[in-house]
A and B are shown apart, each in its own frame.
Chain A
Amino acid sequence: MDGPIPGQSLTKTPRNALYERAPEIVEPNDAIVWHMEKLSDPKRLDNLLFTLEYGLPVKHATQAALTIAVAKGIHNLDISLIIAPVIHKFIASTAREAGIDYLDDFKNAGMKEQEEKEKLGLLLDKAISETPVEERDEGYEMLGDFAEVIPDVDTGLDTEGEISPEVQEVAEEVGAKPQRGLMARG
């Protein structure tokens, strides 16, 4: 009884919701650059690195960043699938450069999705609550966004797979070495 009545969607302003609009970025390399720019912003970078040190795995940071971008209509889910390994490698290489000992994924691989999300929520809540007042900037807001999208994050999204050939060249620049599969031979 609480569901929408037939035709209800037609009463809303067309293209009002983000998912009704065409995404801002349709080219995977552009999406990589967009994410790199966002994550390299000094205001966001220190919050991200500190949260990684807290134990937030790179995989989930990647998934959260991609989910936010999709939710905000920056790019679509297909682009997320293509660029996920590159963003993962970018975050991981940044953490390495900063001397942060990070996790690619939780060590307990047999964790249920719900359990995994609860754990992520706790980690992010803790990181947020321990952010000093003077550092509550865009990076702090980014962590808030991460925590908000955790329930919607697809924890099954593979962020460590092979890098798609169409983003290989840009991927080389973010410290990721493109892996050549069987199909790429010849």
Chain B
Amino acid sequence: MSFKRLVLAGSVAKAYNEQVAEKKALASQINAGKREYLFKAGMQKIQTRRESLKASRERIAKAKTFGFSTKSARALEMSGQLEFEVEKVETLLNNGKLSENYVKILSASLEDKVDGDEALAAAVSKGLQGDSFKTEEEMSLGLINSMGDLNELQEQFLKTTESSGRTRLPAFQYSSTKGPRIELSDRRSIQAQLASSLSTMYDTSFSINNVGDVVFNQDASPDVQILFNNLTEKTVNLAEDPTNSFSPVSALSTVISSIENSSSVPATTVLEKIDEAITTPSFNWEPFKVTGPTGSNGGGSNPTTD
């Protein structure tokens, strides 16, 4: 090799080494910046996210103990409404004031909403896919590290295999103020007003005993008593149902107005058609009216037929 070529090769090698040194310095600089970020903010951010995820999972687990399904709990968590619901249900439960049907109705209604919306169902199910993780490496490893007890480990494993939505869905529309059971005093007030309406319609009378319960006179038909009991439950259910906005007063008013044109309709027919009458504002009772008086027996002859 000639001296000239050797010089050329040497200068190329020098330039290459300089370039490598430059990249090495750049790599070192990037690493230093990364470490600075990690120590100043990054690790704290990861810890915060870890904690928020854990809290989210705990909320879902708690909601499930109250009777929410996994899907409905996750949907509420994703919409940011679960924290409020869990606190509310827990408080009402501790005070013995939780409506028996509240969680069941809300959970079923949310499941229907999710299942009826393709995009919503896809968003919720993405998190639910976590249920398929069954092996150790699929667990959240950071959580495993922080514990020694096997039971605790298993418990945490179950939590990590369940979804914990932190992504935001639009808030679900339901009456979030519902949940408390209708108190006995309200129930008695509802019964008194229903009895008053029914007594006019079926030409019977009732009294209120010393504990506040409605007692129909002995001449009243059992059908009227059954209708009365049923309307009471319907009014209470309407008032407690989180999927509507009825208060006890408006629920009672809706039930009474739905039967107000049903005079001359046998009590058994009213009972049969009451759901339809409540949901149909202009429900027509005319076709069900009987020719003779319904009277206190709540019966009467058969509806007119052409």
Contact = CB atoms under 8 A, between A and B. Distances in A.
Interface in B93-142: 123, 126-127, 129-130, 132-133, 135-142
Contacts of B45: 46
Interface stretch (A12-20, A69-77, A126-134, A148-156): A126-134
B126 A129 contact: yes
A100 B127 contact: no
Interface in A35-73: 36-37, 40, 42, 45-46, 49-50, 53-55, 57
A130 B27 CA distance: 32
A147 to B, nearest CB: 11
Contacts of B165: 129-130
Contacts of A101: 141-142, 144-145
Contact of B43 (A98, A106, A125, A170): A98
A131 B166 contact: yes
A122 interface: yes
A116 B275 CA distance: 54
Contact of B27 (A42, A55, A174): A174
A98 B135 contact: no
B23 A132 contact: no
Interface in A104-128: 106-108, 119, 122-123, 125-126, 128
Nearest to A101: B141
A106 B137 CA distance: 7
B24 A169 contact: yes
Interface stretch (B2-10, B33-41, B176-184, B234-242): B33-41
B190 to A, nearest CB: 43
Nearest to A119: B138
B26 A33 contact: yes
Interface size, A (range): 35 or more
B26 A133 contact: no
A99 B144 CA distance: 13
A36 B137 contact: no
Contacts of B133: 55, 122-123
A159 interface: no
A51 to B, nearest CB: 11
Given A101-B142, A131-B167, A132-B167, A126 B42 contact: no
B140 to A, nearest CB: 6
A55 B141 contact: yes
A100 B142 contact: yes
B142 A55 contact: no
B147 interface: no
Interface string B21-63: 1011011101101110110011101100110110000000000
Nearest to A125: B126
Interface of A: 29-30, 32-33, 36-37, 40, 42, 45-46, 49-50, 53-55, 57, 94, 97-103, 106-108, 119, 122-123, 125-126, 128-133, 135, 169-170, 172-175
The 7 closest A-B pairs by CB, nearest first: A173-B27, A40-B34, A129-B126, A101-B141, A29-B23, A132-B166, A133-B168
25 contacts: A32-B23, A37-B30, A40-B33, A40-B37, A45-B37, A45-B42, A46-B42, A53-B141, A55-B141, A98-B46, A99-B43, A100-B141, A103-B141, A107-B137, A108-B135, A119-B138, A123-B138, A126-B129, A129-B165, A130-B127, A132-B166, A169-B20, A170-B24, A170-B27, A173-B24
